[in-house]
A and B are shown apart, each in its own frame.
Chain A
Amino acid sequence: MTDLDRLIHEPARLLIVALLNGVKEADFLYLQKQTGLTKGNLSSHIAKLEEAGYVEVEKSFKGKIPLTVLRLTQIGRDAFAFYKESLGKLLSVTPTM
């Protein structure tokens, strides 16, 4: 368990990172629809990922509507790749019931 990145391991953040890993960039609405999280919950998870340097947040306006576009940084992509590798290794050594 020590190898697993605790920041990514939390299910909601893992889902956010996994979703962002599959795209170049995504907006807040896309993540909200795909994760099913509330706005507040999603914002707080994004803030933690941004603080760690895993996610880049770009805020702008489209007309009068605020638009938040998110991207996984290279650090975030590397961390996610390492997390998947660690999880795979962990699962391969865990005996099945």
Chain B
Amino acid sequence: MDLDAASLKDIDRRTLRYHTADGLYQLMGGALFTFLGAQGLIVLTVPEGPLRWIYFILGQCVLMLVALAALRVVQRLKARITYPRAGYAGIDPPSKARITAALLVGLFWSAATPWQLVLLLRKPSYAQLMPLAPLMVGVFWAVVTVAAWVRERDPHWLGVAAVALASGLWAYHLKAVPSGMFWVLVSMGVASLVLGTVRLRRFLRENPKPAETEA
């Protein structure tokens, strides 16, 4: 056991990887992305008009509630599946500054989205950019997931990034607007579900439940 400055840095990454080694967060994220994309695709089947937007906004609210519930479910699953096998490590709670920043970004995003949609509907020049939308969504999520890979060095993120980019390009090629944006989310969600399942199976194989001794 020999440690140097470089391996000390790797220990931080190892701690980050530990929290995703069981695949449960990937499964949760995959389910949420699939739900978000599918909800968008379902909303598109509703005839144009105020009812469509009501469905869309209701869907977003349901998604937020589902996300909160999913976090609790993952914590319970970790207590049953992960901790008895790989041990328990609690994450430091986020600082107040981080929570405030996340809330501000969320509020900005929530406020900006309807305005973007209004602009797209009212200004034809913006509408010309619409075919690029699925590609932009794909590139955006590819960048986000590659950034996660840089932080954690977890290959799962590269797989999701490749799927996001490929599905964005595919939807752009087919000029599938606006459904292409939602298909990108569904593709990412399904990729994350598949990779999460593979990871969970591997985790269970590599970490059999030990006899009930000290934890």
Give A residues with C-beta under 8 Å from B.
Answer: 11-12, 14-15, 18-19, 22-36, 39, 62, 64-69, 84, 87-88, 91
Pairs across A and B, CB under 8 Å, 23 listed: A15-B11, A18-B3, A19-B15, A19-B89, A22-B11, A22-B15, A22-B16, A23-B91, A26-B88, A27-B87, A27-B215, A29-B210, A30-B18, A30-B86, A30-B87, A36-B1, A65-B212, A65-B213, A66-B215, A67-B215, A69-B88, A84-B8, A88-B5
Q: Looking across the interface, which residue of chain A has its beta carbon closest to that of B13?
A: A22
Taken together as a complex, chains A and B put the C-alpha atoms of A65 and B79 apart, in Å, by 14
The 9 closest A-B pairs by CB, nearest first: A30-B87, A29-B87, A22-B15, A24-B90, A26-B89, A23-B89, A27-B88, A18-B11, A11-B1
**With A84-B8, A87-B5, A88-B5 as contacts: A31 and B213 at CB distance below 8 Å:** no
Task: Let me know if B175 is at the binding interface, CB within 8 A.
Answer: no
Q: Which residue of A lies closest to B214 (CB)?
A: A66
Among residues of A, the one whose C-beta sits closest to the C-beta of B11 is: A18
Residues of B within 8 A of A28 (CB): 87, 214-215
Q: Are B15 and A32 in contact (CB under 8 A)?
A: no
Q: Does A19 lie within 8 Å of B11, measured CB to CB?
A: yes
Known: A26-B89, A29-B87, A67-B215. 20 other contacts (CB 8 A): A14-B8, A15-B3, A15-B11, A18-B8, A19-B11, A22-B11, A22-B15, A22-B16, A23-B89, A23-B92, A25-B89, A25-B90, A27-B87, A27-B88, A27-B89, A29-B215, A30-B18, A30-B87, A67-B214, A68-B215
